[in-house]
Amino acid sequence: MINRRQILAGTAGIVAGAALSGRLGMGQAFAQTAAPTFTPEAGASLRLLRWVPFVPAEEEAFLANTKKFTDATGVQVRVDKESWEDVRPKAAVAANVGSGPDMVMSWFDDPQQYPDKLVDVTDLGTSIGAAGGGWYPGLESYARRGDSFIALPLCAIGNAVVYRDSHMKAAGFQEFPKDTAGFLELCKAMKAKGTPAGFPHGKAVGDGNNYAHWLLWSHGGRMVDENGTVTINSPETLESVKYAMELYKTFIPGTESWQDVNNNRAFLAGQVSLTANGVSVYYAALKDPALKEIADDMRSVNLPIGPVGQSVELHQASTISIFKHTKFPEAAKAYLQFLYQPDNMSAWIQGASAYCCQPLKAYESNPVWTAKPIHAAYAKASASLRPNGYAGPLGAASAGVMADYVLVDMYAEAVTGQSSPEDAIKNAERRANRYYRV
């Protein structure tokens, strides 16, 4: 049983050894490491801002862990949910005005926009990372500012192609193409059969950014170089835009206005037979008896490899941080430490049913990843993700460019004919330079 003494003693679960790791089905034991001690302030209560879940069981597991923390410490934790698009502006307002939620589950490099407004959690980041086999580098980069942790890596929400297997085969393909050239031919063939594809060109925090960054990186393009100099205006980017324009011709109308819920809905409504999404779309179909045919026919696969010759994907990344304006920083740290206890983190990952990929390497062998074949494409999201600021340093500039949808808009302008490919790229270059101070 978890009790208050365990919380105040530095959460004994964090230093669990081989016996615990074996019970959780993990191949790597949690290292013995010194855990800091946090004593919640008298009368403490907390408020967390988080994104709306797409997998109900993920939220149920998260709230169950939160309740366990309250039962053990007496600290009430209020969890407020906002749509994916609304978390970013609400968190920014709270940071800048100095009031509102005590903590936030935010997206990508959002914490880099207001690092001075966040509590330093290096003590947590260091001890939890050491105990859990280390953080995945891509996720860790979102949470660090120099040598300090300004947030804790929480998860990568894997993005993979989901498609109707029977529709792919009816279009003349027995296997899913592994490269972008073959992928385009598949989409053309599926459209000809009346079972088209659809990817978001709208301001979708997750799916729109995932798709746009894959388009860019798979062709060898990048927003900036290692020094933070804007390099979006390149032959590689131009090729990616031209490729996007050809793919767009195979889509159903209206994808330029899609947000994060639209591709799910279109797929489940039978309007598209191929898109990219988290595993949530599978579980939405599974729970509805009327969608059993779709669930049984659904398959997942990682996004095709482009001319760059390697798999390069963004994936939705989330961190959790504490605002400096909180009146109860010790309670907030104790809460975060509790969430990362091995049994609690493992229960959350399993509850998410492959929707949330673990932030720590010790959970790679969590049984959720082999529970169903459709989970396999999502299993390596944390290991394979590339930060959106690639290839430059993360910071206010990279966060601003993403928050302003510079890359997403570049493709949308070109595929819809608002701008020529060259002008769309120049516009993105101009907008990016405003953030990178050129």
Q: Evaluate if residue 337 carries a pLDDT over 90.
A: yes
Residues with Cβ within 8 Å of 315's Cβ and at least 6 positions away in sequence, in order, are 156, 157, 158, 159, 210, 357, 381, 382, 384, 385
How far apart are the C-alpha atoms of 82 and 436, rounded to whole Å?
30
Q: Evaluate if residue 325 carries a pLDDT over 60.
A: yes
Among 12-21, 238-247, 362-371, 391-400, the least confident range: 12-21
Summarised one tens digit per residue, pLDDT across range 218-275 is 999 999 999 999 999 999 999 999 999 999 999 999 999 999 999 999 999 999 999 9
How far apart are the C-alpha atoms of 78 and 76, rounded to whole Å?
7
Q: Evaluate if residue 33 carries a pLDDT over 80.
A: no
Radius of gyration of the chain (CA): 22
Q: Evaluate if residue 429 carries a pLDDT over 90.
A: yes
**H-run or E-run covering 292:** helix 292-297
The CA-CA-CA angle for residues 44, 49, 52, to 5°, reads 140
Tokens of 344: 């609690």
How far apart are the C-alpha atoms of 405 and 409, rounded to whole Å?
6
How far apart are the C-alpha atoms of 272 and 263, rounded to whole Å?
8
State the pLDDT at residue 385: 93
Residues with Cβ within 8 Å of 15's Cβ and at least 6 positions away in sequence, in order, are 30, 32, 33, 34, 35, 131
* CATH level 3 topology of 31-158+315-384: D-Maltodextrin-Binding Protein; domain 2 (3.40.190)
Q: Evaluate if residue 30 carries a pLDDT over 50.
A: no
Look-up of token digits 């979102």: 142
How far apart are the C-alpha atoms of 216 and 209, rounded to whole Å?
11
List where CATH 3.40.190.10 sits in the chain. 31-158+315-384, 160-314+404-435
Average pLDDT over residues 285-312: 96
* Amino acid of residue 89: P
Cis peptide before 130 (omega within 30 of 0): no
State the pLDDT at residue 18: 33
Mean pLDDT of all residues belonging to the chain: 92
Look-up of token digits 């159903």: 252
State the pLDDT at residue 232: 98
Look-up of token digits 């408020």: 47
Summarised one tens digit per residue, pLDDT across range 185-202 is 999 999 999 999 999 999
State the pLDDT at residue 318: 97
Q: Evaluate if residue 34 carries a pLDDT over 80.
A: no
- Largest Cα separation within the chain, whole Å, is 67
**H-run or E-run covering 286:** helix 280-286
Ramachandran region, residue 426 (left: φ > 0; alpha: ψ -120 to 50; beta: rest): alpha
Tokens of 185: 């031919």
Closest Cα partner for 28 from 18, 36, 37?
A: 18
**By CB neighbour count within 10 A (0-12 exposed, 13-18 middle, 19+ buried), where does 334 fall?**
buried
How far apart are the C-alpha atoms of 4 and 66, rounded to whole Å?
14
The answer to whether the CB of 272 falls within 8 A of the CB of 196 is: yes
Residues with Cβ within 8 Å of 234's Cβ and at least 6 positions away in sequence, in order, are 221, 222
Cis peptide before 391 (omega within 30 of 0): yes
Q: Evaluate if residue 106 carries a pLDDT over 50.
A: yes
Percentage of the chain exceeding pLDDT 70: 92
How far apart are the C-alpha atoms of 381 and 138, rounded to whole Å?
10
The answer to whether the CB of 14 falls within 8 A of the CB of 35 is: yes
* CATH level 3 topology of 160-314+404-435: D-Maltodextrin-Binding Protein; domain 2 (3.40.190)
User: Sorting pLDDT into bands at 50, 70 and 90, what band is 54?
Assistant: confident
Q: Evaluate if residue 12 carries a pLDDT over 90.
A: no
The answer to whether the CB of 334 falls within 8 A of the CB of 75 is: yes
Query: From the centroid of its chain, how far is CA 200?
Result: 16
CB atoms within 10 A of CB 412: 24
State the pLDDT at residue 19: 33
Average pLDDT over residues 287-316: 96
Summarised one tens digit per residue, pLDDT across range 135-171 is 999 999 999 999 999 999 999 999 999 999 999 999 9
User: Sorting pLDDT into bands at 50, 70 and 90, what band is 17?
Assistant: very low
User: Sorting pLDDT into bands at 50, 70 and 90, what band is 74?
Assistant: very high
The answer to whether the CB of 216 falls within 8 A of the CB of 275 is: no
Q: Evaluate if residue 29 carries a pLDDT over 90.
A: no
Tell me the DSSP string of 139-175: HHHHHEETTEESSEEEEEE--EEEEEHHHHHHTT-SS
Tokens of 228: 């933070």
